[in-house]
Structure 1
Amino acid sequence: MRLSVLTLLIAGLTATAAAHASVVTAEAGGFQVKSTLTINSTPDKVYEALSNIGQWWNLAHSYSGKAANLSLQTRAGGCFCEKLADGGSVQHMVVIYADPNHELRLNGALGPLQTEAATGVLILSLKAQGNATELTEIYSVGGWTKGGWVSWASPVDAVLLDQITRLKNYVETGKPTK
């Protein structure tokens, strides 16, 4: 997966405007992005769908080009991993906190951030809103990259918004896209 920052930005711009996404901060040493959207389902159904990541993750943001090769074990120490051809694999992130139906935290550098001296924490928080769920995604990244992290923040924010929008669609319709 050799995606440029521009490619990430373009892909993310196709995400729905129904969600609220923002770059919280972007500095030379790191950035934080945040998105919030409402999913018309209960937190238990949304949390369950998280573990079916191969059903909703955008294959354009995979190394194998096949979303079905992705898996996510929603338990501490669980792997957000991907199978590659010829027995290869990728560890995208590791679950560091799992509170079913409430919050999932993962540690790791996604996609092209893996080629940098980066680490990140992704928090997915679920909050019941009647028969719906408010999903808040926060990704904090720090470390070293040539030129700093400022230019990375918006494209990463857009890609993550695309992913959680696909999750929303999957939970609500059974398909990641409308």
Structure 2
Amino acid sequence: MTFRTLLATCAALVLSVPAMAEVVQQAPDGFTTRDSVVVKGTPFDVWQTLIAPAGWWNKAHTWSGNPENLYISAQANGCFCELLPPPEGAPETIRRGSAQHMTVVQADPGRVLRMRGGLGPLQSEPAEGVLTIALAPAEGGTRIVWEYVVGGAMRYEVPVIAKAVDGVMSEQLRGLAKALGAVEVQGKTEGENENEKENPGEAEGGPAGKSEAKPSTTAKPAPPAEGKDAKSPKPKVEDAFEDLAGEE
């Protein structure tokens, strides 16, 4: 299954989100989702696996249906990108297409990988997302804190898209944990210490739990729609890839 056949999956994620997932902050124009896990290996072992997404990214969340087409250039301004196979019937002179999932803004081996971009249905929206994956030594291995912050204009109802994206983010973290060997999986509402609640990997590229700032966890209700906008329903999550669905 590729992004082109993800319509029903996105809708299902809204109704069935993994217990470990949590939308920790929500506002009328954005949201923050966070998850964590302890895996086997040193932070440098984890880093090497992290920057090779072909080995753990779910193929359901690719454009080509094959995670082996994914790669991360782990340098500032590097690309988390995907090569696309030539269209059926295309001349041999046609080059392969590609898709940019995110752009690397900070790569500190063994400590933090930070990338910017709208994943999945957010790619078609003006909203921007920042994914921070912070690594820190922990008992039995390495703790990974995975945080995705989204803000800006989008045509989706924030509570709906936030829950769907949160489910997908935790799904990717589970894939990474499976590739490395999970030591511990904790839900963020049970057994989470104070450090885990703080922002992972601050500007210095430090490991998780070193930030002083804490995002608000209080959801802010969206202001009521006014005028003509009130009559324009926002798209549903299952319509996110309508422009790509086509015929199977």
TM-score (norm 2): 0.64
**Cα shift at 1:151:** 1.2
Query: What is the match of residue 136 of structure 1?
Result: 145
Partner amino acid, structure 1, of 2:41:
S
Larger relative strand fraction: 1
Query: What is the match of residue 158 of structure 1?
Result: 167
For the pair shown, the structure with the greater C-alpha radius of gyration is: 2
**How far apart, CA to CA, are the structure 1 residues paired with 2:154 and 2:137?**
38
Greater shift in the superposed pair: 24-33 or 103-112: 24-33
1:39 aligns with 2:39: yes
**Cα shift at 1:24:** 0.9
1:103 aligns with 2:105: no
Gaps of 5+ in 1: 174-178
Q: Tell me which of the two structures has the higher relative contact order, counting C-alpha pairs closer than 8 angstroms and 6 or more residues apart.
A: 1
**How far apart, CA to CA, are the structure 1 residues paired with 2:118 and 2:150?**
8
Could you tell me whether the CA contact under 8 Å between 1:83 and 1:89 is conserved in 2? Answer: yes
> What is the root-mean-square deviation of aligned Cα atoms in Å?
1.9
TM-score (norm 1): 0.87
**How far apart, CA to CA, are the structure 2 residues paired with 1:143 and 1:75?**
26
Gaps of 5+ in 2: 87-95, 183-248
- Which 4+ stretches in 1 moved above 4 angstroms? 11-15
Query: What is the match of residue 154 of structure 2?
Result: 145
1:113 aligns with 2:115: no
**How far apart, CA to CA, are the structure 2 residues paired with 1:14 and 1:54?**
24
Could you tell me whether the CA contact under 8 Å between 2:79 and 2:100 is conserved in 1? Answer: yes
Partner amino acid, structure 1, of 2:45:
K
Task: Name the CA shift for 1:34/1:80 in 2 (closer, same or farther; >3 Å).
Answer: same
Task: Name the CA shift for 1:54/1:147 in 2 (closer, same or farther; >3 Å).
Answer: closer
**How far apart, CA to CA, are the structure 2 residues paired with 1:14 and 1:23?**
11
1:77 aligns with 2:86: no
**How far apart, CA to CA, are the structure 1 residues paired with 2:11 and 2:136?**
28
**How far apart, CA to CA, are the structure 2 residues paired with 1:79 and 1:11?**
27
| Number of aligned residue pairs | 169
Deviations 1:75-120 (CA, angstroms, capped at 9, x unpaired):
1111100001221100000110011101110000001110111111
Partner amino acid, structure 1, of 2:69:
N
Could you tell me whether the CA contact under 8 Å between 2:17 and 2:163 is conserved in 1? Answer: no
Query: What is the match of residue 176 of structure 1?
Result: none
Q: What is the DSSP-based 3-state SS (H/G/I as helix, E as strand, rest coil) of the residue aligned with 2:181? A: helix
Deviations 1:131-174 (CA, angstroms, capped at 9, x unpaired):
4111001100111122542211111111110101110111129x
Task: Name the CA shift for 1:47/1:113 in 2 (closer, same or farther; >3 Å).
Answer: same
Query: What is the match of residue 89 of structure 1?
Result: 98
Task: Name the CA shift for 1:26/1:7 in 2 (closer, same or farther; >3 Å).
Answer: farther
